[in-house]
Amino acid sequence: MEKRAELYRGKAKSVFTTDDENRFILHFRNDTSAFDGEIIEQLDRKGEVNNKFNHFIMTKLEEAGIPTQMDSLLSDTEALVKKLDMIPVECVVRNVAAGSLCRRLGVEEGTELTPSTFELFLKNDELHDPMVNESLCESLGFASQEQLAEMKKRTYEVNTVLKKLFDDAGMILVDYKLEFGVDVDGNIVLGDEFSPDGCRLWDKDTREKMDKDRFRQGLGGVVESYIEVARRIGLDLS
């Protein structure tokens, strides 16, 4: 597989074209950003840890019948993925209140959300990823009603699979963000990544934060914590 031009450079990952017109390469960098890129730091081994973590999770989701972009691991920091036309909308499910939900609605962190909530945000750094709804997404041409329904269904299916995976490993899946794209056949497929950078995970007993909030809140031990999450779900990254 020949790596060609950098198609897109995000805050923590880059997407490269390849000599196969239906495959891209995702390169996970050590860059770690918070607050819409206001803070960016290099965290040793984070690219490798997130790449392998993401491959592990996407494989589990595929096994559960959820179509994902993942093809294969290429190197410590690179994965081969199916080409998708990404939909610029972030899907967020919350099982427990934290983060922007608490700030927005004054809900106490840790409040159980029953049933789990589903939110949509426009992927736009300059506008600070504003919240949108299905009507806006449809009218502004981000996604069709059918695509949005499929994204919501798949996002909840991911919750069923991963809540159990993390619960069995002594952790609470508090919330997470997913991004979807459209493949060459027009199917909605889970893209981007699932790693502790894009979800919240708390230790079930101590409620210790084990995700990117460690970075956002200056708690330290960020990559070490990601490695511990991986170890608990059966992935040795040490």
When CB distances to ligand C5P are compared, the closest residue is 99
Residues 78-97 that bind ligand C5P (CB under 6 A): 90, 92
Which CB atom, from 44 or from 125, has the smaller least distance to ligand C5P?
A: 125
Which residue in the set 29, 83, 209, 212 belongs to the binding site for ligand C5P (CB under 6 A)?
212
Contacts of 162 (CB under 8 A, 6+ apart): 57, 60, 61, 173, 176, 194
We find the least distance from the C-beta atom of residue 15 to ligand C5P, in angstroms, to be 16
Q: Does 52 bind ligand C5P (CB under 6 A)?
A: no
∠ CA 214-217-220, nearest 5°, is 45
Name the minimum Å distance from CB 90 to ligand C5P.
6
74 vs 148, beta carbon nearer ligand C5P: 148
Best CA proximity match to 174, nearest among 153, 203, 151, 154: 203
Exactly one of 129, 154, 227, 228 binds ligand C5P (CB under 6 A); that residue is 129
The minimum distance between CB 19 and ligand C5P, in angstroms, equals: 31
For helices 46-63 and 222-232, angle between their N-to-C axes, nearest 10 degrees: 30
State how far the Cα of 129 lies from the Cα of 121, in Å rounded to an integer.
Answer: 6
Helix runs in 84-144, H state only: 99-105, 134-139
CA dihedral sign of residues 68, 74, 78, 81: negative
* Residues lying near ligand C5P in the complex (CB under 6 A): 90, 92, 98-101, 129, 175-177, 198-200, 212
